[in-house]
Structure 1
Amino acid sequence: MSAATRPLDLPEGRKARARGRLQLLLILLVTVGPMILATSMYKMQFWVPEGRSFHGVMIGNGQSRGDLGITAQDQRWQLLVSAPAGCAEDCQQLVYLARQIQIGLGRDASRASHALASAQPLTGDYQAVLGREYPQLQRYPLDLPRYQQTVSEPGPQLWIVDPHGNLVLRYDAKVKGKHVLDDLRHLLKLSNIG
Structure 2
Amino acid sequence: MTQPVPELRRRNRRMLLALALLFFGSFLVAGALRFSGWRPAQLKNRGELLQPYGDLRNVVPRLEQGGDYAWDPKARLWRIAVAPPERCGAPCVELAGQLETVWQLFGRDADRVHLLWIGAAPDSARNHPAARLLQDDPALRAQLPRLRDPAGVPVYVIDPNGFVILRYAPGFDPADLRTDVARLLKLR
Asked if Structure 1 and Structure 2 have the same fold, meaning a TM-score greater than 0.5 normalized by the shorter chain, the answer is yes
In structure 2, what is the equivalent of residue 165 of structure 1?
Answer: 162
Using the aligned pairs only, state the percent identity.
Answer: 19
Q: TM-score, normalised by structure 2?
A: 0.67
Distance 1:12 1:102 in 2: 73
In structure 2, what is the equivalent of residue 180 of structure 1?
Answer: 177
Structure 1 counterpart of 2:145, which letter?
V
In structure 1, what is the equivalent of residue 48 of structure 2?
Answer: 57
Distance 2:175 2:49 in 1: 17
In structure 1, what is the equivalent of residue 21 of structure 2?
Answer: 29
Structure 2 unaligned blocks of 5 or more: 62-69
Secondary structure of the 1:79 match is: strand
Larger Rg: 1
- Cα shift at 1:65: 4.8
Q: How do 1:29-108 residues align onto structure 2 when only pairs under 5 Å count?
A: 29-43=21-35, 45=36, 48=38, 53-59=44-50, 61-66=51-56, 71=61, 72-74=70-72, 75-83=76-84, 85-86=85-86, 88-89=88-89, 90-108=91-109
Aligned length: 172
Contact 1:76 1:162 in 2 (8 A): yes
Q: TM-score, normalised by structure 1?
A: 0.65
Q: How do 1:3-18 residues align onto structure 2 when only pairs under 5 Å count?
A: 12-18=4-10
Structure 2 counterpart of 1:106, which letter?
G
- Cα shift at 1:149: 6.3
- Cα shift at 1:158: 0.9
Q: 1:185 to 1:37 in 2, by over 3 A?
A: same
- Cα shift at 1:49: 7.1
Structure 2 counterpart of 1:160, which letter?
V
Secondary structure of the 2:71 match is: coil
- Cα shift at 1:37: 2.2
In structure 2, what is the equivalent of residue 137 of structure 1?
Answer: 131
Distance 1:65 1:149 in 2: 6
Structure 1 unaligned blocks of 5 or more: none
